[in-house]
Amino acid sequence: MSKTIELNIEGMTCAACSARIEKVLNRMDGVDATVNLPLETARIAVPDELDEQAIIDKIKKVGYGATIKSAPHEKVQDRRMLYRFFIAALLSLPLLLSMVSHIPNSPVHLTFLMNPWLQFALATPVQFIIGAPFYVGAYKSLRSGSANMDVLVALGTSAAYFYSVAEMLIHPVMPNLYFETSAILITLVLLGKVLEDRAKQQTTGAIKSLLSLQATDAVVLDNGTERTVAIDQIQPGMQIVVKPGQKIPMDGMILSGDAYLDESMLTGEPLPAHKGADDTVIGGTLNTNGNLLIEATKVGQETMLANIIRVVEQAQTEKAPIQRQADRISGIFVPIVVAIALITLGAWWLTAGSFAEAIRPAIAVLVIACPCALGLATPTSIMVGTGKGAEHGVLFKGGAQLESLQHVDAVVFDKTGTLTVGRPVVVETFGNEQALDFAAAIEKKSEHPLAHAITEERDVVFDIEQFQVDAGRGVSGMILGRNILVGSERMMRDQQFDVPDWSSAGATFVYVAVDGHVEAGYAIRDELKPTTKHVIAQIQQTKAVYLLTGDRKDVALNLATELGIPTNHVFADILPIEKADHIKALQDAGHRVAMVGDGINDAPALATADVGIALGSGTDVALEAADVTLLGHDLQQVATAIRLSEQTMKNIRQNLFFALAYNTIGIPVAFLGLLAPWLAGAAMAFSSVSVVTNALRLKRTPLTKGGTHS
């Protein structure tokens, strides 16, 4: 047996850090670790007998901090880094001016800034006080047998600084100084980190939005007295008063009152839902009107909102397959860069004959080749993509599911409750009104779903005598001395009654016989959801659509014709347990299959499909069983999930291209001596920011084509 530990990780600076932690942990028997660099978290599956402290100690041994994550992780801006940047910028500004004044024909002539001892005094605190975390990080990384971004920064800036010190002491009159290079590099790296940190705050917007839904307190009704208590003091069974404008503090059932609840953040449905006595309510939703008395059923970490937050966090933590390759590259990148920098140093020293000429391009290679952008390329896009999905009521179980959905070429839909509303309604009536009224009155005594459809269509009352149920066929009774039979065509033919030739596409008929003659009938059908036709047409533009149902074949074919689904893509008269066999058959034929069902009856098919999409309205079963869970009832969310997968993976490919192209171009340019070290530092800093900024574009990407049904 295994358990899952979630940790907050401290001290990671680049992808090499997260890769190192994963590598060390995964060497332990029975341990499977995933580390998320942008979120600074780890999700670790460990054997039951392994203590959490052993994992924390292992992480600390390789130079990083770790603490148990007891609450959803909300990354905050590191103000210390901001202060370090401002101090570094203040000390580096005179060095920058000295560099400008050294340029021929420069309008700046501050010759006093060329004093070696002044430059030494300005650069030293930047190098060893402001830059101390780089040395500490480099030491810890090298001690653990790996190399990260801190190693590159420490090597590059130390080379520039100590060479300048040596020049100042050996050639005090005309020294070649690079103090400005080391100080400005550290300042620019810190600026990049500050900007990157700010940008990453926006990638966790979905978690922040979900956390903001949680109520902080609740009004408890105790022996007729109302008292306000903190949310963590609520226990199941307590009676909670919720007034207009207040949030529902936990999951529960309405004991009395009715109101319209705004559930848009959880379900994506903009219109408030009406709730009354015996209806369930979800914690975090907003009571727009009416007074409610609610019995608490689920509190704390058992609520639906807490479950949703866990699913979103898990999706943002788990890696997509495409990220594994980037991580492998990042893990070996730094040693390769150090080797290239040494080759650059040697090549320039030999050709130029001057160590001073050789050190500049070597430093530029060290700095520009940092793998930060490569490490951020995938996880930032997944964080934004899964977060945006949550805002639209689409929950991905993880990055792998988000990636897999884009490859699907066949989408299989269950019928009842998925394409349809899941509730039969009368779509047409035939015959005389009195016979229809007789049927409606007699069906009030029946529990059959079709009877419910009839009584909803018309509400009439008659005294009924001799009421009888013919199971599976119909009902009968006496009204006003007349003999009434209400039931199926089979029931009528068994009675040898003439059945009229009425027709209504895809409908089931309930006939009404009065004194031995069929005089009226109801056409009843499970109606399509409002967006079904639009969504099917939208998905069919790029993927094959199949219909899988336990309903009769003629009903399924009529529905398929109405939706434009090919008749050879219809599987009818199928038992729930047989649905998985049809999914497997499509896979054997070479298809990658997504199955869309209700999350309970379709569980085997959902599990068999490459991607299972459950319209479970957020039920616990759906959250556990499905790869993708849709919290609302709108079928448009299926198209939204597919579109989001496509857009997120496109964004990831853009990020990886930019990151790899940046290093592919930057290293040769630096090797040729065409890039000043401080420019290399600026380019390295802003490469990470550009990747995160590109990922944030997903927030503004429309998830529907044509701008309708958003």
Q: What is the pLDDT of residues 308-365, one digit of tens each?
A: 777 777 766 666 777 766 666 766 777 888 888 899 999 999 998 888 788 888 888 8
User: Do the Cβ atoms of 521 and 502 come closer than 8 Å?
Assistant: yes
Question: What is the pLDDT averaged over residues 623-642?
Answer: 81
> Which of left, alpha, beta for 145 (phi over 0: left; psi -120 to 50: alpha)?
left
- pLDDT category at 41 given cuts 50, 70, 90 is confident
Return the DSSP state at 101.
H
- pLDDT category at 580 given cuts 50, 70, 90 is confident
How far apart are the C-alpha atoms of 140 and 13, rounded to whole Å? Answer: 12
pLDDT at 618: 45
pLDDT at 705: 54
For the stretch 215-231, pLDDT in tens is 889 999 988 899 999 98
The DSSP code sequence of 527-546 is EEPTTHHHHHHHHTTTSEEE
State yes or no: pLDDT of 385 exceeds 90: no
- Which two structure tokens, joined as six digits, stand for 108? 């700046």
- pLDDT category at 547 given cuts 50, 70, 90 is very high
Backbone angles phi, psi at 255, to 5 degrees: -90, -40
State yes or no: pLDDT of 75 exceeds 70: no
Of the candidate ranges 97-101, 262-266, 558-562, the one whose mean pLDDT is the lowest: 97-101
Instruction: Please report how many Cα atoms fall inside a 13 Å half-sphere around the Cα of residue 336, on the Cβ side.
Output: 13
- Which two structure tokens, joined as six digits, stand for 588? 């054997």
Q: What single letter denotes the amino acid at residue 69? A: K
User: Do the Cβ atoms of 45 and 10 come closer than 8 Å?
Assistant: no
Question: What is the pLDDT averaged over residues 368-385?
Answer: 78
State yes or no: pLDDT of 620 exceeds 90: no
- pLDDT category at 241 given cuts 50, 70, 90 is very high
Question: What is the pLDDT averaged over residues 37-45?
Answer: 84
Q: Where do we find the tokens 């015959």?
A: 431
* Helix (H) or strand (E) segment spanning residue 628: strand 628-630
Mean pLDDT of the chain: 83
- pLDDT category at 199 given cuts 50, 70, 90 is low
State yes or no: pLDDT of 681 exceeds 90: no
423-442 burial, b if ≥16 CB within 10 A, otherwise e? Answer: ebebbebbbeebbbbbbbbb
pLDDT at 707: 39
State yes or no: pLDDT of 640 exceeds 70: yes
- Which two structure tokens, joined as six digits, stand for 284? 């975090």
Question: What is the pLDDT averaged over residues 391-401?
Answer: 84
State yes or no: pLDDT of 265 exceeds 80: no
- pLDDT category at 442 given cuts 50, 70, 90 is very high
User: Do the Cβ atoms of 564 and 456 come closer than 8 Å?
Assistant: no
Catalytic amino acids? 414
Question: What is the pLDDT averaged over residues 618-622?
Answer: 50
State yes or no: pLDDT of 623 exceeds 80: no
Adjacent-strand bridge partners of 425: 525
- pLDDT category at 237 given cuts 50, 70, 90 is very high
- Which two structure tokens, joined as six digits, stand for 565? 């689904």
Under 8 Å CB-to-CB from 17, ≥6 apart: which residues? 11, 37, 64, 141, 148, 149
State yes or no: pLDDT of 212 exceeds 60: yes
State yes or no: pLDDT of 388 exceeds 80: yes
User: Do the Cβ atoms of 273 and 288 come closer than 8 Å?
Assistant: no
pLDDT at 546: 96
Higher pLDDT, 53 or 196: 53
pLDDT at 309: 77
State yes or no: pLDDT of 303 exceeds 80: yes
- Which two structure tokens, joined as six digits, stand for 532? 């079904």
State yes or no: pLDDT of 606 exceeds 90: no
State yes or no: pLDDT of 377 exceeds 60: yes
Give whole-number Cα distances, 626 to 153, 205, 615, 648, 656, in Å: 45, 24, 9, 20, 29
Highest mean pLDDT range out of 156-165, 189-198, 414-423? 156-165
Under 8 Å CB-to-CB from 481, ≥6 apart: which residues? none
> Which of left, alpha, beta for 393 (phi over 0: left; psi -120 to 50: alpha)?
left
pLDDT at 708: 37
Of the candidate ranges 330-339, 564-573, 657-666, the one whose mean pLDDT is the lowest: 330-339
pLDDT at 249: 92
User: Do the Cβ atoms of 386 and 316 come closer than 8 Å?
Assistant: yes
Task: Give just the sign of the alpha carbon dihedral 438, 442, 443, 444.
Answer: positive
Highest mean pLDDT range out of 158-167, 420-429, 434-443? 434-443
How far apart are the C-alpha atoms of 506 and 555, rounded to whole Å? Answer: 5
Question: What is the pLDDT averaged over residues 45-74?
Answer: 83
Return the DSSP state at 129.
I
Q: Determine the distance from the C-alpha atom of residue 223 to the mean position of all C-alpha atoms in its chain, rounded to a whole number.
A: 43
- pLDDT category at 4 given cuts 50, 70, 90 is confident
How far apart are the C-alpha atoms of 203 and 55, rounded to whole Å? Answer: 28
pLDDT at 156: 80
Highest mean pLDDT range out of 72-86, 95-109, 196-210? 72-86
pLDDT at 706: 43
- pLDDT category at 151 given cuts 50, 70, 90 is confident
Highest mean pLDDT range out of 66-70, 85-89, 500-504? 85-89
Question: What is the pLDDT averaged over residues 408-432?
Answer: 88
The DSSP code sequence of 188-242 is HHHHHHHHHHHHHHHHTHHHHHHHHHS-SEEEEEETTEEEEEEGGG--TT-EEEE
593-630 burial, b if ≥16 CB within 10 A, otherwise e? Answer: bbbbbbbebbbbbbebbbbbbbbbbbbeebbebbbbbb
How far apart are the C-alpha atoms of 389 and 268, rounded to whole Å? Answer: 10
